[in-house]
Chains A and B, each alone.
Chain A
Amino acid sequence: MTATVALTTTRPRWQTGVRVAGLAGLGVIALTVALSDMIARAPADRVNVRQVSLPPSAAFPFGTDIAGRDVLSETLHGLAVTSEQAVIAALTTLIVGALGGFLAARLRFRLGYGVRWTAGIFGAVTPLFLAILFIAVTNRGLAPLAAGVAAAPLAFARTFDRASGLASSRHAEFARATGIGALTLLRRDLVYEMRRSLLAIVGRGLASGTIILSTVSFFGFGALPPHRDLGLMIAGAFTTARASGNFSMWWTALFPALALALVILMARLAAGLEDGTRP
């Protein structure tokens, strides 16, 4: 019996390796973002009409775009803008979604179910549309908050359902029977739950925040020049190519897209592959 339990509850070693690789990758990205102004050879949005549309070369490893901007420098600046905004989005999802869901599940008089119903309605609308709506009603400067709030209903529902299960679990019944207060029980469950899944929630929030923010920018609802993010850079390259019918300047979209994919991949790896319900 002991052997069976040991066999079935040990996390495969490769999954731990994947998570460590993701965290290391996020660390490298954070370092690059912190030093982006020093690493980049040109300031953000610097135009040079004497070097337009140059393909990747030794002088310009990522090439230049139609306005003569160095794509490598622009990608670094864009990565910094996207990453900083994605962190705000992830924290918003964590607080409004995950933490909100946990606390709502412990509200008295079943008030939490009313909040859960509201979250369910927002959760029936695709997060991308919610974010665009939020930005349209407020302003573009709040795009990171919009991305976080848009991803929050799903995180809220997930955490609420988990916390409701915990509130009616055996250990909760024993705790109540032995006179342990509701606040103490809440604190204990919150600490255990966050220790178990904080990294996964933040990792997933970072990935979804990056996707929503870049897509919103691609649609023209997000960042504005000179603070171009990766989504806006890709949108610029795509619009130029479509308008001219010339898709030969692949480097203007490819390198920002790869940087974007790298952030999302590392965030997802850090969140871990295994996110089922364990006994």
Chain B
Amino acid sequence: MARFGLEAALRLILGLIGAVFLATAIASLPPYSAGGFWQSFGSHLVSVAHLDFGTSRVSGSPAAAELLAHLPATLLLLGFGAVIALVIGIPAGLLAGFSRAAPVAGPLLLVLEAFPLFVIGIAMIWAATVLYWPLDTAPAGTAIPGDVLSLPFARAIALPAILVGLGGAGAIVTRLRQIADTLAYAPYREGLRRLGLPNWEIGLHYLLPEIAAGVLANLGEVMLALMGAVIVAEWIFQWPGAAAFVIKSVALSDWSVAAIILAVFAGLTLVADFIGALVSRALVMADHP
């Protein structure tokens, strides 16, 4: 386990270094102040080593300040979305992968998954308009509407968080279906059944740890799906977060801001991957000491 942990940590560190290089390359895109790309890349790399992430071409503020102004709103949305993803994704995935209703539930979920998130977001806005749900999510610039525990905040974050949750749930369902397909061919299930173990006992003691380990092993992919959903949700619901801000930064060639937000997003995915791999391994080890 210790060796696995060290290897995973090394992968994480190498990944984070790579993400910094990628972000630096983006920050070095034209227009150049002097010289070509490589000169720009070198000077940006030196600046990053001194924790200077450049300034925004649009606002003139430090890129790090722009990130800090927008990131809390994104993290809140991501957190609430992740909870909704678990609440929806796990039962739906178990239904589509492991239940007797799989031949019906599987294709039915595929039909629902066929609608891109931005289409679902528009449908939610349409439904909200019909039902008179307030949609003034970001009335004052980059401020999160209301206190985190207040009613205006809950009303404002509900729809974007559901959309993010649906994006994450899709990734969880896909993963659970893959695990179900793998486990359907595991010979030990038939063996245990022939030994006289009831289905619920096989499920609880043998399948459940494998399912949990399988989902956690792909936590990075779930995080990636959540990130993609956050971009769409922030854009459609005008949520004042970093994900929609990065799209605007790219459109305006504000590369310093785009680079630092990209680095943070990639870092979050890599950290999720690392944590998922460790916990998944721990579960497997507990099952097979």
Q: Interface of A with B (CB < 8 Å)? A: 4, 7-9, 12, 14, 18, 117-118, 120-129, 132-133, 136-137, 154, 207, 211, 214-215, 218-221, 231, 234, 238, 242, 247, 250, 253, 257, 260-262, 264-265, 268-269, 273-279
Q: Is the Cβ of B14 less than 8 Å from the Cβ of A117?
A: yes
B100 CB, min distance to chain A CBs, angstroms: 12
Report the 4 A-B pairs with minimum CB-CB distance, sorted nearest first.
A276-B181, A276-B182, A121-B18, A265-B114
Q: Which residues of B contact A126 (CB under 8 A)?
A: 224, 227-228, 231, 265, 269
Q: Is the Cβ of B122 less than 8 Å from the Cβ of A234?
A: yes
Interface core residue of A154, A211, A273 (most chain B CB under 10 Å): A273
Determine which of B15, B125, B130, B235 lies in contact with A121 in the assembled complex, contact meaning CB atoms within 8 Å. Answer: B15
User: What mask results when residues 148 to 189 of chain B are scored 1 for a CB within 8 Å of chain A, else 0?
Assistant: 000000000000000000000000000001111111111100
The CA-CA distance from A148 to B26 in the complex, in Å, is 20
Q: Is the Cβ of B122 less than 8 Å from the Cβ of A238?
A: yes
B3 CB, min distance to chain A CBs, angstroms: 18
Q: Which residues of A contact B250 (CB under 8 A)?
A: 132-133, 136
Q: Is the Cβ of B26 less than 8 Å from the Cβ of A133?
A: yes
The CA-CA distance from A264 to B111 in the complex, in Å, is 9
Q: Is the Cβ of B187 less than 8 Å from the Cβ of A128?
A: no
A158 CB, min distance to chain B CBs, angstroms: 10
- Does any Cβ of A come within 8 Å of B115's Cβ? yes
B60 CB, min distance to chain A CBs, angstroms: 21
Q: A4-B190, A257-B119, A276-B179 are in contact. Are A215 and B18 (CB under 8 A)?
A: no
- Does any Cβ of A come within 8 Å of B29's Cβ? yes
Minimum CB distance partner of A274 in chain B: B181
Q: Is the Cβ of A257 less than 8 Å from the Cβ of B115?
A: yes
Q: A12-B103, A125-B265, A133-B258 are in contact. Are A268 and B122 (CB under 8 A)?
A: no
Q: A121-B266, A234-B119 are in contact. Are A127 and B220 (CB under 8 A)?
A: no
Q: Which residues of A contact B11 (CB under 8 A)?
A: 120
Interface positions, chain B 102-140, Cβ under 8 Å from A, are 103, 106-107, 110-111, 113-119, 122, 125-126, 129-130
Q: A219-B247, A279-B185 are in contact. Are A129 and B114 (CB under 8 A)?
A: no
- Does any Cβ of A come within 8 Å of B270's Cβ? yes
A-B contact count (CB 8 A): 146
Q: Which residues of B contact A219 (CB under 8 A)?
A: 235, 247
The number of chain B residues touching the other chain, given as a range, is 35 or more
Q: Which residues of A contact B267 (CB under 8 A)?
A: 124
Q: A126-B227, A215-B116 are in contact. Are A120 and B15 (CB under 8 A)?
A: yes
Minimum CB distance partner of B224 in chain A: A126
A230 CB, min distance to chain B CBs, angstroms: 10
Q: Which residues of A contact B22 (CB under 8 A)?
A: 121-122, 125
Q: Which residues of B contact A275 (CB under 8 A)?
A: 177-178, 181
- Label chain B's interface by main secondary structure: helix
A-B contact pairs, 14 of them (CB 8 A): A14-B103, A120-B15, A120-B18, A121-B15, A124-B267, A126-B228, A126-B231, A127-B228, A133-B250, A214-B118, A257-B119, A261-B119, A265-B114, A277-B178
A72 CB, min distance to chain B CBs, angstroms: 19
- Does any Cβ of A come within 8 Å of B19's Cβ? yes
User: What mask results when residues 247 to 284 of chain B are scored 1 for a CB within 8 Å of chain A, else 0?
Assistant: 10011010000100010011101100100000000000
The CA-CA distance from A262 to B26 in the complex, in Å, is 36
Q: Is the Cβ of A268 less than 8 Å from the Cβ of B190?
A: no
- Does any Cβ of A come within 8 Å of B232's Cβ? yes
The CA-CA distance from A275 to B218 in the complex, in Å, is 15
Q: Which residues of B contact A221 (CB under 8 A)?
A: 251
Q: Is the Cβ of B251 less than 8 Å from the Cβ of A4?
A: no
The CA-CA distance from A257 to B285 in the complex, in Å, is 46
- Does any Cβ of A come within 8 Å of B246's Cβ? yes
Determine which of B180, B186, B190, B266 lies in contact with A125 in the assembled complex, contact meaning CB atoms within 8 Å. Answer: B266
Q: Which residues of A contact B116 (CB under 8 A)?
A: 211, 214-215, 260-261, 264
Determine which of A7, A220, A253 lies in contact with B122 in the assembled complex, contact meaning CB atoms within 8 Å. Answer: A253
The CA-CA distance from A235 to B248 in the complex, in Å, is 16
Q: Is the Cβ of B18 less than 8 Å from the Cβ of A129?
A: no
Q: Is the Cβ of A215 less than 8 Å from the Cβ of B107?
A: no
A212 CB, min distance to chain B CBs, angstroms: 9
The CA-CA distance from A42 to B114 in the complex, in Å, is 28
Interface core residue of B22, B29, B130, B186 (most chain A CB under 10 Å): B22
Minimum CB distance partner of A271 in chain B: B110
B48 CB, min distance to chain A CBs, angstroms: 16
The CA-CA distance from A118 to B106 in the complex, in Å, is 34
The CA-CA distance from A264 to B116 in the complex, in Å, is 9
Minimum CB distance partner of A3 in chain B: B190
Q: Is the Cβ of A260 less than 8 Å from the Cβ of B126?
A: no
Interface positions, chain B 1-37, Cβ under 8 Å from A, are 11, 14-15, 18-19, 21-22, 26, 29
Q: Is the Cβ of A261 less than 8 Å from the Cβ of B184?
A: no
Minimum CB distance partner of B231 in chain A: A128
13 new A-B pairs (CB below 8 Å) besides A8-B186, A121-B18?
A8-B185, A18-B106, A117-B15, A118-B18, A121-B22, A124-B270, A126-B269, A129-B228, A261-B111, A265-B114, A276-B177, A278-B181, A278-B185
Minimum CB distance partner of B250 in chain A: A136
Q: Which residues of A contact B18 (CB under 8 A)?
A: 117-118, 120-121
